[in-house]
Amino acid sequence: MSSRHVGFGVLFGFLLVRLGAADPEAISGMFRLTDLHLLGVIGLAIAVNALGFGLLRRRKVRALGGAPLAMAVKPMARGMLLGASLFGVGWALSGSCPGTTLAQVGTGQTGALLVFAGILGGAWLQQARARRSAAVAPARVEPSLPPLGSQQAGLR
């Protein structure tokens, strides 16, 4: 990890705090539909990401491994609905998501340390489950789809 990565992380955390995304009350208000400014923040983040990704692709910037930047369609996988539901419930109950947890820790919110421990524990459990499944089940070959926007996908 380079100092540039750390710098971007610090900037990201700073922006999350300044925009109110690290405030558990604002997050709770978003889920109760009483404070909708975070929905605007999320929408703005999606727009900036889409514009930046498009600009990088037009400039033919490559990923760190040298491959062209591409987005592939990911099929629904077994357990995805349950996982997404658990994520949403955890986000609403804790007032934090993985992106805001470290920013909350950085602002001195000690409860975020418990959330961070839960994130690490959940990631560890998922990895252990995946290893166990891989050891038990025969190898599966997932069908691959061409990247969105490629000629192979039939999009122009």
Give me the count of residues in the chain.
Answer: 156
What letter represents residue 89's amino acid? V
Structural domain count, the chain = 1
Residue 130 pLDDT > 90: no
Residue 34 pLDDT > 70: yes
What mean pLDDT do residues 23-47 have?
91
Look at residue 101 in the predicted model and tell me its pLDDT.
92
Look at residue 156 in the predicted model and tell me its pLDDT.
42
Q: What is the DSSP letter of 67?
A: P
* Residue among 108, 136, 105, 135 nearest 118 (CA): 105
Rounded to the nearest 10°, the torsion over CA 31, 36, 40, 42 is: -10
What mean pLDDT do residues 99-123 have?
91
More reliable by pLDDT, 1 or 93: 93
**Average predicted confidence (pLDDT) for the chain:** 85
Q: Which residue range forms the structural domain that includes residue 111?
A: 3-153
> What is the rounded CA–CA span in Å between residue 32 and residue 108?
25
Largest CA distance in the chain: 51
> Which residues 6+ apart lie within 8 Å of 88 measured at CB?
none
Look at residue 51 in the predicted model and tell me its pLDDT.
96
Q: What is the DSSP letter of 62?
A: B
- 36-84 pLDDT per residue, tens: 999 999 999 999 999 999 999 999 988 888 888 888 888 888 888 988 8
> Which residues 6+ apart lie within 8 Å of 106 measured at CB?
13, 17
Residue 153 pLDDT > 50: no
* Residue among 52, 22, 26 nearest 39 (CA): 26
What mean pLDDT do residues 128-137 have?
83
